[in-house]
Structure 1
Amino acid sequence: MKSTFVAAATAVFAGLASAVDLPTGWFSIAPDDEIQPGDLKGKPRYLTWMADSQIKHGVEPTHAYTISSFYSGVMLAYERTGDQKYLDYVKHATDIILYPEWDGTILLYNNSNSIDDIRFGHTFLDIYNKTGNEIYKTAAS
């Protein structure tokens, strides 16, 4: 009796599930479709979706490893799209870390040379490479 009920329920649910056409959400290509060269041209990409989402929700302005890794992703979005808002966002965030001294001194830096501090040096160098402003190079060292 129990196995008959399970079999019947499975058949009913399988029929219902196959009739449902799920939306692809932010996907521009359905999950089971094969991606062909040129398919993504002009369509949303995960990189910019992630960057825009995090920028909208904000991140804590610290020199933590995870925050610096996020900034690297935003810089990648800038390099891939050329959209100035991504560079401006990361530059503004690094400027907050350098405020109020604005001489390359990092706010709340404790000279521990932890992995957080080393990773954030990459962010300063990314901004230095884009702007040429020596203050970011000084901060990275």
Structure 2
Amino acid sequence: MQKIPINLATPGMKLAKAVTKENGMTIMAEGMELTDSLIARLEGMNIERITVQGHPVEMGGAGAGTHWGERLERLDYLFRRYGEDKWMVRVRERMRQYFQLKAAAQEAKAQAMKQVEAAGGISEVDDAVNGGEES
């Protein structure tokens, strides 16, 4: 079973879970085989993700290509039904803090890599840091 963005869906994939609207109404039943027209219909209904059988799409493994800023942006949506639950609000805020730290670290790493590339590579940076001495 794999949850994928709707834009990666292809005809022939089978739904592992029913597709439902926010209000709980079922749009497509579990086990349905996707066709071009069904995929287009889901896109037209602004369905972002579906769960399909098996693992038909290589998503890069756990955490690969993770953009912590995107996760941070989705928090409010993911916790939208728990606004009155004080414990869930605390969980959301802890996750927000964690994602903010991860996003800042990811951005700092990206900036550092840009500076390394601009300096001509790691060996030149090592030379500058070590004062031209051999290690």
Using the size of structure 1 for normalisation, the TM-score is 0.27
Higher helix fraction (1 or 2): 1
For the pair shown, which has the larger CA radius of gyration, 1 or 2?
1
RCO higher in 1 or 2 (8 Å CA, sep ≥ 6)? 2
Using the size of structure 2 for normalisation, the TM-score is 0.28
